[in-house]
A and B are shown apart, each in its own frame.
Chain A
């Protein structure tokens, strides 16, 4: 076969160029550490890297969110533990107040102590996070949720529960509205009413107090109250004592049953003239219940004993404590869940990184051996090119 001289040059050059291109490519792969330099090198893997990259980024975002949720929940847990401690302490003092040997001045001292606990509880209910946002105000995190004092506390927050996306399918609540924890500690039915007969009554307990129909649901304004009821000549005198407020008396003519302030008061036995009873109507609000207790200790009713107040307090402080502990349990289990999610997230992150690495990273040993091989080939091509192109018959003509 004839071979034209230009073919010899062209073919040799093309060979060296393709070797150089391969060499350059191997060098680029080694210096970038990536097998896929452009999507064209492996279109499917390149797209997959992007997809997995997004999954990894989302996972990282969820990890960040988990951290934020964890911080919030820990704060919440701390505050709720504090609230439980306060209520627990108040309960212990209430038990102490039940000691019949205590003088009224002792009871007043206990009342002062519990009043301080009340303020402490209010402070906890109004706690803020590091951003100055109220923890127990629902969505209204800029508004102080519990406004007031022992005379009455109103809830200014809402019932919103803030959540954070901690995994693709889980929105974790990171706050609990104060209304759920402090303002909804018990259900209201007739068990919320307790009646204590005064020490000097001639008859036994003969008063039956229930909520007047319709009794479900009970109007909240009828709850959280304390009354003295005295019976005289067929008439009932109902005196209300509000913590931090004056007392108001109403005379309601008999015969029983009578209805006053949503309560139906009936007599069950022989009630003598001059008999006096103390009636507590518990509230859903733990603040109200504590306030009623404090007031009952400070201003004992006609029953002239702390027994009724103590019984009322133990029952309702327990309800408050239950509510707080329930909330803390939820937070605790959320924290456990987050820890699990963090472990899973870390595992998944490693898996994503491995996938991405497997898809786009270069096998260095292979690439370096390829580089060396191509280098050898190129050098051989260069040397042989020189040999061949130096051959010419003209070299021998003279």
Chain B
């Protein structure tokens, strides 16, 4: 009787445990990271009798969770990548939206500015048109600045979020260290007794950590889990935890870099290339691959328009008869540390500017190396300064031997560009050199299309008003050539060679000459028509206050002139507008790539999660069925006890 009673009781216990676990499953159906649990039962040691073994009921051998490390790892990998893509998408979408509206981007401001230039070309002496052009230039500059400040805000946002992510990593790492300790203690009663709920919680923490940065988790025999980041740097070792921090990067102090803080408190910078995946990898990657190039490209445009426009403007003459000054305040090349070298932009080689940042290394005091950081090419390889490379003119500064400096030619250019001219009369719409044909001329020869090559020596400092003496050009029909005053030279062709011949029979449609003065200034012009023997032409300084629009026309032509991104042969390939379009395309392409990637990754995460949940997730119908099953088995076990009691009563009544 006692045996039957015991068997019944063991059944009651097992059913009760089943009901408990089912209840636990039902109540945790929505708990993230929960793996459904099952009670494992086994038979008790049977009792031997002469005829065989009699079963002794059931006992609970273990409560296990339905868990597969393989499926869990798949989810971890998929979520890590998804989190990376979604963070990247969230960041780059900000730039994408900034560029989205074609009527609010840089294009309309650029068009407005050049339309102002054209107005001046049409009405060169009209002060209202000149003022309008300056106002348009100011609105172009402020468009540059507002786009740049938006990018800077995005950059600040990236760094704030990076700091936030690091806080999360640190608190998760601490929590994993704590729970490691609890698991080791909990499981110390025996290896077959898994601390299911603690393990679930730790898995959840590692999954959360994994969404921030790619980690490797390695289980230990004692139940602890060691967590490594980057290329194997320890984050959690048993109960011991390291911390992450931020500090300005050694290579680029304008950026925050991620550091690993050792037990002694010493911080070592983690290279960005090692921190991949997750939110943190996305933030660093976005800053490196999308934000820096976009801001540099925008700066390159600002620098390009400022330098190209200034160069042309300086070749003109304003309403007061003075040579043009800088129209735009040209942005200076940024450098860390300040004064490490003298770097200026070469206005003649704007096409060679790259929009990259550079690292300057002082090798041995005389030889310097310059590394272009976008592709890590040594554009100067241990050579003495000064040197000209990539549109930059570099001469030595205060950089000590063995030290390095960061040079950012275009990073802050969009922020620093400004309009230098406020007085509309200072706008150099005219050309400082005018030509006239002598009224006595007998032929039809004419001079046209004067373009300034250099204004050197055209003025006597500090005056800015060209005061060179009249240059007269006379034609001799006998030798079919022009005569210029002593010291001056005429040349033609590319490259120019000394040449003063002009044969009306072949050249009357126009022959281009370059006139070089002993003072240094030079200009080119076209001689055309049929001059008669002795005909004279004079070049003189243009009078002030004239409606001369020749330089304004050339300034306006810059809108469609290719000035940026030189090809291999050194010919620029992009106008300002196409340079902007390229920014839009590259950001648009990257955004699209990330968006498509995120959608694909969403599907992967879904598949992996479903595969995992098919094994580990709670199905309420199944649990309901289990409830009924365990209830019935509980009732059945109770029935066994009641039978045992009835049997016992039977025996007692026999004795009565």
Q: Are B439 and A6 in contact (CB under 8 A)?
A: no
Q: Are A65 and B122 in contact (CB under 8 A)?
A: yes
- Which B residues lie within 8 Å of A31 (CB)? none
Give chain A nearest CB distance to B100 CB in angstroms. Answer: 4
Q: List 8 A-B contacts (CB under 8 A).
A: A6-B613, A39-B585, A139-B548, A164-B121, A165-B118, A188-B440, A216-B532, A220-B440
Q: In the complex, which of the residues B430, B535, B549 contacts A217, with contact meaning CB atoms closer than 8 Å? A: B535
Chain A residues 47 to 64 lying within 8 A of chain B, measured CB to CB, are 47-51, 53-54, 57-58, 61, 64
Q: How far is the CA of A394 from the CA of B625 in the complex (A)?
A: 9
Chain B residues 282 to 317 lying within 8 A of chain A, measured CB to CB, are none
Give chain A nearest CB distance to B14 CB in angstroms. Answer: 22
Report the number of A-B residue pairs with Cβ-Cβ less than 8 Å.
216
Give chain B nearest CB distance to A218 CB in angstroms. Answer: 6
Q: Which residue of A lies closest to B118 (CB)?
A: A61
Q: Are A39 and B99 in contact (CB under 8 A)?
A: yes
> Which of A1, A61, A133, A397 has the most chain B CB within a 10 Å cutoff?
A61
Q: Are B439 and A184 in contact (CB under 8 A)?
A: yes
Q: Are A38 and B434 in contact (CB under 8 A)?
A: no
- Which B residues lie within 8 Å of A189 (CB)? 442
Q: Are A5 and B29 in contact (CB under 8 A)?
A: yes
Contact flags (1/0) for A377-398 with B, using CB distance below 8 Å?
Answer: 0000000000000001110010
Contact flags (1/0) for B413-436 with A, using CB distance below 8 Å?
Answer: 000000000000000001000111
Q: Are A183 and B546 in contact (CB under 8 A)?
A: no
Q: Are A217 and B548 in contact (CB under 8 A)?
A: no
Q: Are B123 and A6 in contact (CB under 8 A)?
A: no
Contact flags (1/0) for B562-593 with A, using CB distance below 8 Å?
Answer: 00000000000000011011101111110110
Give chain B nearest CB distance to A203 CB in angstroms. Answer: 34
Q: How far is the CA of A394 from the CA of B545 in the complex (A)?
A: 95
- Which B residues lie within 8 Å of A40 (CB)? 93, 96, 587-589, 591-592, 595
Q: How far is the CA of A64 from the CA of B589 in the complex (A)?
A: 36
Q: In the complex, which of the residues A14, A38, A131, A183 contacts B123, with contact meaning CB atoms closer than 8 Å? A: A131
Q: In the complex, which of the residues A39, A53, A360, A392 contacts B621, with contact meaning CB atoms closer than 8 Å? A: A392
Name which of B50-58, B106-114, B370-378 contacts chain A: B106-114
Q: Which residue of A lies closest to B117 (CB)?
A: A61
- Which A residues lie within 8 Å of B548 (CB)? 139, 160, 162
> Given A14-B606, A142-B545, A64–B440 Cβ distance below 8 Å?
no
- Which B residues lie within 8 Å of A57 (CB)? 111, 115
> Given A2-B614, A6-B29, A142-B545, A38–B621 Cβ distance below 8 Å?
no
| Nearest 9 Cβ contacts at the A-B interface | A4-B617, A39-B588, A43-B588, A40-B591, A141-B547, A393-B624, A139-B546, A47-B581, A57-B111
B393 is an interface residue with CB less than 8 A from chain A = no
Q: How far is the CA of A375 from the CA of B144 in the complex (A)?
A: 42
Give chain B nearest CB distance to A263 CB in angstroms. Answer: 16
Q: How far is the CA of A46 from the CA of B102 in the complex (A)?
A: 8
> Which of A37, A38, A392 has the most chain B CB within a 10 Å cutoff?
A38
Q: In the complex, which of the residues A3, A37, A171, A219 contacts B553, with contact meaning CB atoms closer than 8 Å? A: A171
Q: Which residue of B lies closest to A34 (CB)?
A: B102
Q: In the complex, which of the residues B534, B549, B553, B580 contacts A214, with contact meaning CB atoms closer than 8 Å? A: B534
A140 is an interface residue with CB less than 8 A from chain B = yes
Q: In the complex, which of the residues A50, A69, A171, A184 contacts B580, with contact meaning CB atoms closer than 8 Å? A: A50
Give chain B nearest CB distance to A220 CB in angstroms. Answer: 5
Contact flags (1/0) for B92-108 with A, using CB distance below 8 Å?
Answer: 01001101101001010
Contact flags (1/0) for A96-136 with B, using CB distance below 8 Å?
Answer: 00000000000000000000000000000000000101000
Q: In the complex, which of the residues A14, A141, A187 contacts B442, with contact meaning CB atoms closer than 8 Å? A: A187
Q: Are A6 and B546 in contact (CB under 8 A)?
A: no
Give chain B nearest CB distance to A367 CB in angstroms. Answer: 18
Q: Are A11 and B532 in contact (CB under 8 A)?
A: no
Q: Are B577 and A50 in contact (CB under 8 A)?
A: yes
Q: In the complex, which of the residues B102, B110, B437 contacts A159, with contact meaning CB atoms closer than 8 Å? A: B437
A333 is an interface residue with CB less than 8 A from chain B = no
Q: How far is the CA of A40 from the CA of B591 in the complex (A)?
A: 5
B618 is an interface residue with CB less than 8 A from chain A = yes
Q: In the complex, which of the residues A2, A158, A220 contacts B615, with contact meaning CB atoms closer than 8 Å? A: A2
> Given A6-B618, A216-B532, A163–B553 Cβ distance below 8 Å?
yes
Chain B residues 520 to 555 lying within 8 A of chain A, measured CB to CB, are 532-536, 542-543, 545-550, 553
Q: Are A6 and B438 in contact (CB under 8 A)?
A: no
Known A2-B615, A142-B547, A393-B625; further 13 A-B contacts with Cβ < 8 A? A5-B620, A11-B610, A38-B97, A46-B99, A46-B585, A58-B559, A133-B547, A139-B542, A140-B547, A161-B448, A188-B440, A216-B534, A217-B534
- Which A residues lie within 8 Å of B330 (CB)? none
A246 is an interface residue with CB less than 8 A from chain B = no
- Which A residues lie within 8 Å of B250 (CB)? none
Give chain A nearest CB distance to B360 CB in angstroms. Answer: 34
- Which A residues lie within 8 Å of B578 (CB)? 51
Q: Are B125 and A50 in contact (CB under 8 A)?
A: no
B247 is an interface residue with CB less than 8 A from chain A = no
B619 is an interface residue with CB less than 8 A from chain A = yes
Q: Are B619 and A44 in contact (CB under 8 A)?
A: no
Q: How far is the CA of A46 from the CA of B585 in the complex (A)?
A: 7
A344 is an interface residue with CB less than 8 A from chain B = no
Q: Are B591 and A39 in contact (CB under 8 A)?
A: yes
Q: Are A41 and B122 in contact (CB under 8 A)?
A: no
- Which B residues lie within 8 Å of A41 (CB)? 588, 592
Give chain B nearest CB distance to A272 CB in angstroms. Answer: 37
> Given A39-B591, A188-B440, A1–B614 Cβ distance below 8 Å?
yes
B622 is an interface residue with CB less than 8 A from chain A = yes
Q: Are A11 and B606 in contact (CB under 8 A)?
A: yes
Q: Which residue of A lies closest to B30 (CB)?
A: A6
A29 is an interface residue with CB less than 8 A from chain B = no
Give chain A nearest CB distance to B222 CB in angstroms. Answer: 31
Chain A residues 178 to 205 lying within 8 A of chain B, measured CB to CB, are 179, 183-184, 187-189
Q: How far is the CA of A38 from the CA of B123 in the complex (A)?
A: 39
> Which of A4, A11, A162 has the most chain B CB within a 10 Å cutoff?
A4
Q: Are A216 and B442 in contact (CB under 8 A)?
A: yes
Q: How far is the CA of A161 from the CA of B617 in the complex (A)?
A: 86
Q: Which residue of B lies closest to A175 (CB)?
A: B547
Q: How far is the CA of A219 from the CA of B442 in the complex (A)?
A: 11
Q: Are B125 and A141 in contact (CB under 8 A)?
A: yes
Q: How far is the CA of A158 from the CA of B434 in the complex (A)?
A: 9
Q: Are B592 and A164 in contact (CB under 8 A)?
A: no
B627 is an interface residue with CB less than 8 A from chain A = yes
A248 is an interface residue with CB less than 8 A from chain B = no
Q: Are A50 and B619 in contact (CB under 8 A)?
A: no
Give chain A nearest CB distance to B446 CB in angstroms. Answer: 9
A284 is an interface residue with CB less than 8 A from chain B = yes
Q: How far is the CA of A250 from the CA of B609 in the complex (A)?
A: 120
Q: In the complex, which of the residues B102, B430, B606 contacts A53, with contact meaning CB atoms closer than 8 Å? A: B102
- Which A residues lie within 8 Å of B577 (CB)? 50-51, 54
> Which of B105, B615, B619 has the most chain A CB within a 10 Å cutoff?
B619
B218 is an interface residue with CB less than 8 A from chain A = no
B124 is an interface residue with CB less than 8 A from chain A = yes
Chain B residues 595 to 616 lying within 8 A of chain A, measured CB to CB, are 595, 602, 606, 609-610, 613-616
B560 is an interface residue with CB less than 8 A from chain A = yes
Give chain A nearest CB distance to B28 CB in angstroms. Answer: 11
Q: Are B546 and A218 in contact (CB under 8 A)?
A: no
Q: Are B125 and A3 in contact (CB under 8 A)?
A: no
Give chain B nearest CB distance to A38 CB in angstroms. Answer: 4
- Which B residues lie within 8 Å of A161 (CB)? 448
Q: Are A397 and B122 in contact (CB under 8 A)?
A: no
> Given A3-B614, A4-B614, A57-B115, A50–B584 Cβ distance below 8 Å?
yes
B40 is an interface residue with CB less than 8 A from chain A = no
> Given A57-B111, A216-B532, A4–B546 Cβ distance below 8 Å?
no
> Given A54-B110, A139-B434, A49–B102 Cβ distance below 8 Å?
yes
Q: How far is the CA of A138 from the CA of B125 in the complex (A)?
A: 12
Q: How far is the CA of A160 from the CA of B591 in the complex (A)?
A: 54
Q: Are A7 and B613 in contact (CB under 8 A)?
A: yes
Chain B residues 259 to 297 lying within 8 A of chain A, measured CB to CB, are none
